[in-house]
Amino acid sequence: MALFIEDSCINCDMCDPECPNEAITLGEHIYEIDADKCTECIGHYDKPTCVSVCPIDCVKPDPNHVEDEESLLAKFLKMHG
């Protein structure tokens, strides 16, 4: 499943440069994750780097974009293959 950033985001700039898929951008008020680009770092790392670096724990699974590991890997291969 793709990830999303909750409204509690403090725009600390930690997540954006860490995303290997360039899925994170600064939105109108907070950082946002493009679900079409987010693979939860599958294909790059063992766990999502945005979750690891977020100082306030506001990056969560997106219930509107449920994907299994196989689908996330397929998305990674499509983007980077």
* Contact by Cβ (8 Å): 22, 50: no
What pLDDT score does 14 carry?
Answer: 97
CA-wise closest residue to 56 among 11, 18, 20: 11
Bridge partners (DSSP) of residue 60 are: 4
Average pLDDT, integer, range 40-53: 96
Confidence of residue 1 (pLDDT cuts 50, 70, 90): confident
**pTM metric for this prediction:** 0.92
CA-wise closest residue to 53 among 28, 81, 31: 31
Confidence of residue 81 (pLDDT cuts 50, 70, 90): confident
